[in-house]
Structures are given as C-alpha cells and as structure tokens.
Amino acid sequence: MKSIWLNSFILAIILFCSTAAWAQTKTRINWTAVTGAQSGMFMAQQEGLFKKNGLDVELIHIPSSSRGIQAILAGEIGFSFMDGANEVQANLKGANLALVAGATNRQVFSLMAKADIKRIVDLKGKKIGITRFGSAPDISIRYALRKYNINPDKDLTLIQLGFMATVAAGLQGGSIEGGVVSPPTQFAIDKAGFKELISITDMDFAFPNPALVAVGSIIRGKPDVINRFIRAYTRGIHRARNDREFTYKSMAKYTKIQDVEVLRKAYDFYMSKVLERAPYVNMVGVQNVLDDLAKSVPAAKNAKPEQFVDLRFLDALEKSGLLKELYP
C-alpha cells in the first residue's frame, strides 16, 4: 500500500513539474489586420486556450504584413498572421519562413465607393484607397479590375493610405472615391452610406490571407510550440463558431469597433462564408501568389507552392483526432 502511494506521489510530482515547465513557454504572436478572420486567435486568447496548451501568449498588433515580416526576422515575435504574398516574396529573397496554418483561403475584400458611382466603368479617373502596394488589398483589387478590363495603372489611381481605418476615413473625408476594405470595416462603411461596387470575396480568388507564418529557427527548434498553438487556435475557431455573443465582445476588444450591428454582420459573414473550420492552407492559393509575383519576380516562375508551406503541423492536427472531436 505504501509503495502504491509513493509511486502515485512521484507520478504527481513529475506531472506537476512537467506542466509547470510547459506553462513557461512564452511566445509573441502578431495579428496584422482589423478583420474577423482572426477571431479564432482572439477567442483562444480570451478563453485561456493557449494557457491550457502550455503557452503564455502575448498578442501584439503590427498593422502591416511587410512590417510583420521585419519583426519576425528580427526575432521580436515568434509568429505572425499575414497575407501569403509577403511570406512568399520574402522567401524568394532568401528569408527562412513557412506558412504553418491558415485562417481564410481567399481574398476577403470589397471595393466600396461613393453612392454616385453607379458602374464599375465609372471608376476610371478616380482615386482608390488601399493600404499598401503589394498588400493583399492591392493584389485583390488589381485582380478584380482586370476581370472588368480596367488597368489599375492607367485607368485610375491607387492611393496608399497605410491602414484600413485610414482608407475608411479617406472615403468619408472625400479624399478618395473608392476604397478596398474587409469586414467589419466594410459594414461600417456601408452603414455610412457607401455602396459595395465589387465583392472580391464572391469572386472566390484563392489566396492565403491571412495565414500563420513561423520562422525556420522555431520550426526546427520548437516544433511542439507550433503544434500547441495550432491546437489552441483550432479550438478557438470552434468556440467562436459556437458562442456568438462572446465572439462579438472579443472582436470589439481587438478591432475597436463597438457597433453591435456591424459586429453581428461581420460575425455572420466570417462564420458562414470564409473562416475555415480547420486551419488548412490552400495550395491553389499559394500557386496564385506565385503566378502574381511571376509578373515582376523572375524567381517565382519556377517555384513550387510546397517550398513555402510546412504541412507537418496540419498533418499532426489531423492525426491527433481533434478535428473529429470538434466536428463529429
């Protein structure tokens, strides 16, 4: 009896020490855009799901994929959500990054315009706001306009405004006639009297945006941290899908949008239309990134999507049985 008690005590000590050591794993994760696409991460943080998986996570906000890459390469953050184009382009220049998970696998944007612009052809000669050249809004609007035989470099003027909030402010202030935004900003702009001229989301343009990017040193040296993050993040997505009211509060906290009607529309949009239940990366989307970059970056022409995605973590998620547990 004494032996059994002693063995149980030793086992408890081992488990306690193991859990205590596990809980010391600190990591900084960057989110880049005011969007409902990152609701799973917000919920995982709010609900303590990262902590339950032994991660002491600090969420930081660097509102630009290009700046996020600079921070991750400098070792200032461990992971960053960003659009896939920035990761691919950085790797083609010699960076050591990989897409390890996804959030949405299409370009989720709309071109919002002044109410007096009735037709897409009326955009000619107008000023259209985007965040930055080379950003996901820039890539998406160029893709959309080509479908309507409009040359964005000749027929109109794309204006860099830095952030989605400043694109919205530019529309409302009259310095631009149109702007590329995503929900919930899109619904706030709609409520202010502007109209959706093009739904790029409905064009179903496959694209990793946003996706979770990790640097090679962490992938090689701390793969278990990535596995634990993805498990917590996947549970966060599931919780977001099943707790509408708490997700509103979570989105409001991080996006700073307090309008419940706007948040409700954003929630319905992301949960029913674009947010992946499982955080897979669509390889067709990565190929679309390469095809777009190949127009100006020769190295992209012969590159393969597999060079930019590390699938082992998503494979581990599948084998763990978590997805079957959450979505039986």
Model confidence, pTM:
0.86
Smallest CA-to-CA distance from 310 within 217, 204, 209, 207 is with 217
pLDDT in tens, 246-268: 898 888 888 888 899 999 999 99
Question: Residue 271 carries which DSSP code?
Answer: I
pLDDT in tens, 52-87: 999 999 999 887 777 888 888 888 898 899 889 999
Mean pLDDT of 25-47: 89
Q: Could you give the angle at the alpha carbon of 293 between the alpha carbons of 289 and 296, nearest 5°?
A: 170
Residue 22 is predicted with a pLDDT of: 47
Residue 70 is predicted with a pLDDT of: 86
Sign for the pseudo-dihedral over CA of 247, 249, 252, 254: negative
pLDDT in tens, 185-226: 999 999 999 999 999 999 999 999 889 999 988 999 999 999
- CB 165 within 8 Å of CB 72: no
Query: Among the listed ranges 17-21, 152-156, 301-305, which one has the minimum average pLDDT value?
Result: 17-21
Statement: residue 166 has pLDDT above 50: yes
What confidence tier does 24 reach under pLDDT thresholds 50, 70, 90?
A: low
Q: Which domains are assigned to the chain?
A: 2-105+207-326 (3.40.190.10), 110-203 (3.40.190.10)
